[in-house]
């Protein structure tokens, strides 16, 4: 079997691996009563375990008026298995906000499947209504309860922040990275703002680092970025200058200083660090796991497995002599959880692996 055929076969085989979950045995209960008393005897009908109950993942929540909806996060706890799904209903119980003017309650229902629903986070969606009034922040309290349960409901307090007020601004992540030799030729940093996104706003920030690091981004230390009307996020692309010097990794710290409309800077997101990888500098090697094996056809070879995070690339090199080299490139792993390959002809005595910094930033967290 040729190497290319063997690699193709094993890659296809690896794609068929699945994680099989534990089977769940369902014990049916009468109708849809979950933990209530038997109407004939007054005694509990629940004989399969503790009754179901609700817990809140966020008993208090702040949300801007211009968001699509209020998520009332909850978890259904317990081991009772019922024949149908679990209905969780939200009820508005008070506050300065007004149903029909500030939000739409509707039926306030969330149907939680029995299989996979117990112990996992769910939420009731309460659509928000955006108005043109500068009315300040408002409050709303909701009770969540399991239909058919005698357990007391849980209460969630929500602060609806007026989106006409000045909000906050910050970097989406505390770290970004790029390669000096990237084909895109720039490092991209993302900022986001809250509350009033209807107007344009200019953000002023500074860059700090060694002169060599700052030179790779053009040398300017005072810069600005522009939010256009209705922008909640913006991408700032800073060109990277690629030289021929071996400089290693360099860090540049970016700090938001002020904004044109007086936005506050978010706690913990006022600063981000941009790491530039040097395409003339070889990164550190990583330990590999190599095992011998054989195919179904009896052909023996060497199999290599390694974990590569999504978004990264890993370079595999080999040497026919020793750690002294010479080293030659053999394979590039592209990140997607676990990658595997094999070699049916392999004479190398040693191997090593390097993580290649990707051209785009990796540490991206979407703001909710």
Mind listing the pLDDT tens digit for each residue in 178-234?
A: 777 766 788 889 999 988 898 999 999 999 999 988 998 998 999 999 999 999 999
CA–CA distance, 180 with 359 (Å, rounded to integer): 8
Would you put residue 196 in left (φ > 0), alpha (ψ -120 to 50) or beta? beta
Instruction: Calculate mean pLDDT across residues 20-42.
Output: 33
Buried b vs exposed e over 256-291: b needs ≥16 C-beta within 10 Å?
beebebebebbeebbebbbbbbbbeeebeeeeeeee
CB atoms within 10 A of CB 78: 21
Tokens of 92: 């508005």
CA–CA distance, 311 with 267 (Å, rounded to integer): 28
Angle 282-288-291 from CA coordinates, rounded to 5°? 150
Q: Which CATH architecture has domain 168-277?
A: Sandwich (2.60)
Q: How far is residue 14 from each of residues 7, 81, 305, 342, measured CA to CA in Å?
A: 10, 35, 11, 12
Task: Please determine whether the domains at 53-161 and 168-277 fall in the same fold group of CATH.
Answer: yes
- What is the value of pTM for the model shown? 0.55
- pLDDT per residue as tens digits for the range 239-277: 988 877 777 778 999 999 999 999 999 988 999 999 887
Q: What whole-number percentage of the chain has pLDDT above 90?
A: 37
According to DSSP, the β-strands at 250-259 and 201-208 are antiparallel
- pLDDT per residue as tens digits for the range 325-359: 777 777 776 665 555 554 444 444 566 665 554 44
**Considering only CA atoms, which of 21, 20, 37 is closest in space to residue 29?**
37
| Secondary structure tally for the chain: helices H, strands E | 3, 24
Domain coordinates of the chain in residue numbers?
Answer: 53-161, 168-277, 282-356
Contact (CB, 8 A) for 280 and 242: no
According to DSSP, the β-strands at 250-259 and 271-277 are antiparallel
Q: Is 25 exposed, middle or buried (0-12, 13-18, 19+ CB in 10 A)?
A: exposed
**CATH code assigned to 53-161:** 2.60.40.2030
């Amino acid at each position: 079997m040729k190497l290319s055929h063997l690699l193709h076969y094993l890659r296809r085989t690896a794609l068929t691996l699945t994680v099989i979950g534990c089977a769940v045995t369902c014990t049916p209960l009468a109708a849809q009563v979950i933990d209530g008393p038997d109407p004939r005897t007054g005694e509990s009908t629940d004989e399969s375990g503790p009754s179901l109950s609700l817990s809140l993942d966020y008993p208090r929540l702040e949300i801007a008026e211009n968001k699509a909806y209020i998520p009332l996060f909850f978890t259904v706890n317990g081991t009772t298995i019922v024949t149908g799904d679990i209905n969780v209903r939200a009820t508005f119980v008070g506050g300065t906000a007004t149903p029909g003017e500030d939000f739409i309650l509707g039926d306030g229902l969330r149907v939680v499947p029995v299989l996979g629903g117990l112990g996992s986070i769910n939420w009731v969606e309460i659509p928000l209504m955006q108005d043109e009034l500068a009315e300040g922040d408002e409050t709303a309290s909701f009770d969540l309860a399991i239909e058919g349960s005698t357990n007391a409901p849980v209460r969630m307090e929500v602060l609806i922040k007026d989106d006409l007020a000045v909000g906050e601004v910050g970097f989406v992540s505390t770290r970004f990275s790029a390669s000096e030799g990237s084909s895109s030729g720039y490092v991209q940093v993302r900022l986001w703002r809250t509350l009033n996104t209807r107007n344009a706003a200019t953000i002023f920030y500074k860059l700090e680092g060694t002169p060599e690091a700052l030179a790779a981004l053009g040398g300017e230390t005072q810069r600005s970025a522009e939010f256009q009307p209705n922008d909640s996020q913006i991408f700032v692309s800073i060109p990277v200058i690629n030289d021929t010097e071996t400089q290693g990794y360099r860090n540049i710290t970016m700090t938001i200083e002020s904004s044109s409309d007086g936005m506050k800077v978010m706690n913990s997101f006022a600063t981000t660090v941009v790491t530039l990888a040097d395409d003339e500098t070889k990164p550190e090697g990583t330990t590999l796991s190599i095992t011998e094996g054989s195919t179904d056809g009896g052909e023996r070879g060497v199999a290599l497995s390694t974990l590569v995070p999504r978004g990264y690339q890993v370079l595999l090199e080999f040497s026919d002599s020793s750690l002294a080299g010479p080293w030659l490139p053999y394979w590039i792993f592209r990140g997607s959880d676990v990658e595997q390959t094999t070699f049916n002809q392999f004479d190398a005595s040693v191997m090593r692996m390097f993580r290649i910094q990707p051209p785009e930033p990796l540490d991206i967290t979407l703001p909710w």
